[in-house]
Amino acid sequence: MSEKVRQIKLGVVGNENSPWEYVAQKLKKENIELEIVTYSDYFSPNKDLSEGLIDANAYQHKAFLNAEISEKHYDFEIYGETYLDPIGIYSKRIKSLKRLNKGDSVAVPADRANEIRALKVLQGEDLIDFEIDPQSGEIVFTKNQLHLEFKLYDAALLYSSLDEVTCAFINGNYAFEKGLNPVTDSIFREKLDLGDSDNPFVKVLVANSNLEEDKQSILRRALFYYQTGAVAEIIKQMQGGSLIPAFLPRF
């Protein structure tokens, strides 16, 4: 009598999922079926996870996850870290941030976690300064000498904003899907430090806190195969070489 196939559904964003496809092949040899469910936006995978339509997801960084939990009261648990994906700035009008002029427009992600992430990039280049009002939670600019105008777009629509603004922050997966190379086509890339063990922009594998025990064990097995040298090499080749593995390979 053949052993029953164990199954688990994993939500991801975008079509470049080579690391998880590698993991799926490894799990298949252990009679485990890893079904990869693809999404085109950043909010549906968490909604479906909370409703039990998928068992886990792997697409979001810690800052986005924490914002989602705070706003929507999800009861999620992090199982492990996957990779870093530096956000890039793209433009059809300028070749460098030094070419920004007074009154230029900048498109940033509409979700709060990535909006603040984008603003911190510009803050790091001494173009703006800002703080979060402790009462209202609103962003207050304390420095904006160029009077830059910030426009909010859904992350999946930022590429289309390039015809309307001076420059736009575009997440790596969306840029790559539109034919942009995050390394060579961006006019600026976020500087991320993997040495910071609590980096808020490390992407993570997430599941519900009350996930049944058998599926917990499957997820841990999947993570075992993910955090390996083979997957680290796959990650380094993705998105034009722009991704950074966020783990020390087990083997």
Q: How far apart are CA 12 and CA 220, in angstroms?
A: 17
Both tokens of 24, joined, read 């799926």
CA angle 78, 229, 172 (to 5 degrees): 60
Domains detected in the chain: 6-85+195-245 (3.40.190.10), 88-189 (3.40.190.10)
Quick one: average pLDDT of 60-72? 97
Q: Per-residue pLDDT tens for 149-196? A: 999 999 999 999 999 999 999 999 999 999 999 999 999 999 987 655
Q: Per-residue pLDDT tens for 33-49? A: 999 999 999 999 999 99
Please check whether residue 155 is in contact with residue 143, taking contact to mean a CB–CB distance below 8 angstroms.
no
CA nearest neighbour of 168 among 156, 179, 15, 177: 156
Both tokens of 213, joined, read 């025990």
Both tokens of 8, joined, read 């688990």
